[in-house]
């Protein structure tokens, strides 16, 4: 079973992709750059900026 399923299946990026949120759309909707969204998904974005984007995502009702 593990050879079929990705270990990152429940990570934030795949979860949002399954719900139809594309990186480009999220960057536009949440006033962020695509690079910032990618950095947030890989825990590379500074905490203050991560909190800002996450707050906007929660306010929009994203399943995070």
* Residues 35, 40: Cα–Cα separation, whole Å: 9
Q: Could you read off the pLDDT of 3-37 as tens digits, one per residue? A: 555 556 567 777 777 878 888 999 999 999 999 99
Q: Kindly state the greatest CA–CA separation across the chain.
A: 39
With cut-offs at 50, 70 and 90, classify the pLDDT of residue 58.
very high
Which residue's structure tokens are 């992709």? 17
How much is the average pLDDT of 35-56? 94
Is 64:54 a contact under the CB 8 Å cutoff?
A: yes
* Residues 34, 8: Cα–Cα separation, whole Å: 20
pTM of the model: 0.72
In the numeric block, which tokens belong to residue 47? 């905490």
Q: Output the CA torsion sign for 45, 48, 52, 55.
A: positive
């Amino acid at each position: 079973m593990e050879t079929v399923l990705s270990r990152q299946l429940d990570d934030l990026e795949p979860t949002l992709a399954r719900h139809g949120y594309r990186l480009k759309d999220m960057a536009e909707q949440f006033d962020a750059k695509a690079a910032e969204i990618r950095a947030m998904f890989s825990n590379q974005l500074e905490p203050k900026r991560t909190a800002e984007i996450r707050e906007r995502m929660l306010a929009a009702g994203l399943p995070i």
